[in-house]
Amino acid sequence: MSRHDYDIAVVGGGPGGYVAALRAAQLGLRAALVERAELGGICLNWGCIPTKALLHSAAVLRACRAAADYGVAGAAAARPDLAAMVARSRKVAGQLGRGVAHLLKKNGVAVHRARARLDGPGRLALDDGATLSAAHIVLATGARPRALPALPAGERIWTYREALAPAALPASLLVVGGGAIGVEFASFYRTLGAEVTLAEMAPQILPQEDAEIAGLARQAFEKQGIRVLTDCTVAASCPTAAGVRVTLDQGGRRREVEVERVIVAAGIVGNVEDLGLEQTRVRVERTHIVTDGLGRTAEPGVYAIGDVAGAPWLAHKASHEGLLCVDAIAGQPVQPLDPLRIPACTYAHPQVASVGLSEARAREQAGAAGRRIRVGRFPYAGNGKALAMGEAEGLVKTVFDADSGELLGAHIIHPEAAELIAGYGVAATLEATEADLMHTVFAHPTLAEALHESVLAAYGRALHI
């Protein structure tokens, strides 16, 4: 056996790829990981983790500004130190990157720092001249920001990378794209004092979320001073002496926005180029590799997971796909991934989190099947812990099948929504019914009690509203 012979070779060291390699090693398989850039991928280095570090800095700043409301004097004069915030976020990302490298070494995964492409069945050619052979090859090459011709990236027009490490705070900012990434950047920069405009081409911001929850999020952002524009596309842009002038088309009506900087957060495209796919039966649709529920492509021995394999583009989805894919390769009993049981979280202020169907989608599906749904709502204004924390704005919303009691969807808007949604995620995975949730004892006082009350409300049994 040569040192380049493996049971599994993974291309891409992001949250899908490195987890797949670790799982393979746990199962006793000879595993290799090929990564051309930073271990941990975009998520750990330039996405999920550093953005959350910055958003936490913003949360601390908000807490200081509101400290007098909690009987704490002297903190209201707190001001943002952007350079220190950025330095802290880079430090956190670096620490986790070193942790991933340690885990791979500890588990005996061979790491190759190179670019790879398929070179015939079971073979990878690396750009350092080496060739790897493996019985199974897992592509986890991720995705990159979608470019907009009207907004060419540069000094004044940023992608997420520039937005994560700015040299100075822009006085004004246009964020193009009202999905999770755009909303998070808008929230961060607004908290620090920038004048922020958020433009989204869909009729609502957070287009994948329940319309009622997205509407509440919009109200909250506008209350904070964020200007929100929907049904809006970018027609053109041009530099000015102070920044950028952007022409927007809003339902046929043109409007111009002049800002110091622009952040483009208008979706992603899969990294499918230069992988050697053209010599295989692997299918690519709309820049994403087509797979089944266990990561298998149309080419025997070739698999794809994570963002390159399509929506939802979430790190935890990628990691779980990596586990399922490797377990299936190893002959472990597995079930295909159900997208409706993957939670989605937006870490703005307030946070938005959900799992399952929106109310509109549930009604549509139920109507087509001749069924009914029940919807429960519970506002955080009725939750004692939320009042004690001074975070009483928010809502928990649940959607059930009226006949079977199946939990079809759950939606939360609150500063702690991303932590709270896990309860409903567990319930959905266990196929819990409304009866199971009603009979679950929630500790008091906790924010999680609102999850219970929303279930009760769906059946006319809410206690505190």
Catalytic residue numbers, as ranges: 444
* DSSP symbol at 265: -
71's CB contacts (< 8 A; 6+ apart) are none
Two tokens at 309? 């394999």
272's CB contacts (< 8 A; 6+ apart) are 141, 284, 287, 288, 289, 308
| Amino acid (one-letter) located at 178 | G
CA angle 358, 393, 64 (to 5 degrees): 130
Identify the sign of the CA torsion 230, 236, 241, 243.
positive
10's CB contacts (< 8 A; 6+ apart) are 17, 18, 20, 21, 24, 31, 32, 33, 34, 137, 138, 140
From 238, 145, 232, select the one nearest 185 (Cα to Cα): 145
DSSP bridge pairs for 246: 237, 257
What is the DSSP annotation of 59-79? HHHHHHHTGGGGT--S-TT--
Whole-angstrom distance, CA of residue 110 vs CA of residue 91 = 26
Q: Is 233 exposed, middle or buried (0-12, 13-18, 19+ CB in 10 A)?
A: middle
Q: Sort strands 227-229 and 172-176 into parallel, antiparallel or unpaired.
A: unpaired
| Amino acid (one-letter) located at 240 | T
| Amino acid (one-letter) located at 71 | G
H-helix or E-strand spanning residue 267: none
What separation, in Å, do the N-terminal and C-terminal C-alpha atoms of the chain show?
Answer: 69
8 A C-beta contact, residue 169 and residue 273: no
DSSP bridge pairs for 197: 174, 227
* DSSP symbol at 361: H
| Amino acid (one-letter) located at 449 | E
